[in-house]
Amino acid sequence: MQISDLPKLVTVFGGSGFVGRHVVRALAKRGYRVRVAVRRPDLAFHLQPLGNVGQIKAIQANLRYQWTVDRAVEGADAVINLVGILKETGKQNFSAVQERGAAFVAEAARKQGASLVHVSAIGADPESGSEYGRTKGAAEAAVHGAMKDAVILRPSIIFGPEDDFFNRFASMARFSPFLPLIGGGHTKFQPVFVGDVAEAVALAVDGLAKGGKTYELGGPDVVTFRECMEIVMRITDRNRALVSIPWSIAKSMAKLTGWLPGAPITYDQVVMLESDNVVSDKCVSSKLTLKGLGINPRNIDSVVSSYLVRFRPHGQFTRKGAV
């Protein structure tokens, strides 16, 4: 077999994470060879069963070091960047990982002549008051500056069995007598299923997304923060008070405790919550959405109930009405 006869090679940065494992699975099902670029390849063995023998390979790469990025992209036909952080830890800061790192990946893909799919987030804006949103916006500008035909995907909050949103509050409800409503709980979200996001990424690699365009990915449900907490309580069958926390108090608390390991929320995350996180009317009218890609998005209840059941007082055997 000649090299030209081999299936296309896709390099996935951040492929061992929550979204990454679903993206790797979607690519493997399509027959692609998948090179997973991660900081710790020894922690990516869980990806091996997602494909055939030898189909998925992990390689060491760190977005803070350009030479490792170039090495990971060498020989690739397509490149996907999924890397993002919600909280800064030491050298893993927003500017280094989300801004400069994304620029390194885009430049490496350009030099290799590979296509590029960059996963950003709704709310990405170089002028954002949130450092997360600002660096995500700067990353998008760097990506399009290097590759005008790159596809950018902006998901809303992503949910799935390993998510850090519904799982976090369901876990909190086990012990806390109340659940917090930051800013009164009025912020709107359009949660999107991780499997749908992965399928969108795979379709973009297939060449079925419009090059140079930015898609916004949201599910069929637009819900407020309060409604998300109510969903958590209903599915876990726990009755907890919902306590409104004004923005000023939430920011003060986050400044005091946000730096601690395992802190429930950081100052930057509070700032992000001040803005709604939903698909824009512009993307809907332009069909730059999941439905525009031919994906019928899953709703919250059809998925979340399958994995939050473990937080019920007695798991799946809890009778309705238990406290």
Decide if 173 is inside a domain. Answer: no
Decide if 289 is inside a domain. Answer: no
Q: Three-state SS for 56?
A: strand
pLDDT digit string (tens) for 61-97? Answer: 999 999 999 999 999 999 999 999 888 887 789 999 9
The type of residue at 57 is K
Decide if 227 is inside a domain. Answer: no
pLDDT digit string (tens) for 252-270? Answer: 988 887 666 666 788 999 9
Q: Tally Cβ neighbours within 10 Å of residue 1.
A: 5
The type of residue at 127 is E
Decide if 50 is inside a domain. Answer: yes
Identify the band that residue 2 occupies on the pLDDT scale cut at 50, 70 and 90: very low
Structural domain count of the chain:
1
Tokens 């898609």 belong to which residue?
Answer: 215
Determine the structural domain holding residue 47 and report its residue range: 3-149
- What does the CA dihedral 213, 216, 219, 223 come to, rounded to 10 degrees? -160
Q: N- to C-terminal Cα distance for the chain? A: 63
Q: Read off the CATH number of the domain in which 70 is found.
A: 3.40.50.720
Decide if 126 is inside a domain. Answer: yes
Decide if 240 is inside a domain. Answer: no
Q: Which of 44, 79, 47, 48 is nearest to 63 (CA)?
A: 79
CA contacts within 13 A on the Cβ side of 110: 15
Whole-model pTM: value is 0.94
Pairing label, strands 151-155, 56-60: unpaired
Decide if 116 is inside a domain. Answer: yes
Tokens 């800064």 belong to which residue?
Answer: 88
Decide if 82 is inside a domain. Answer: yes
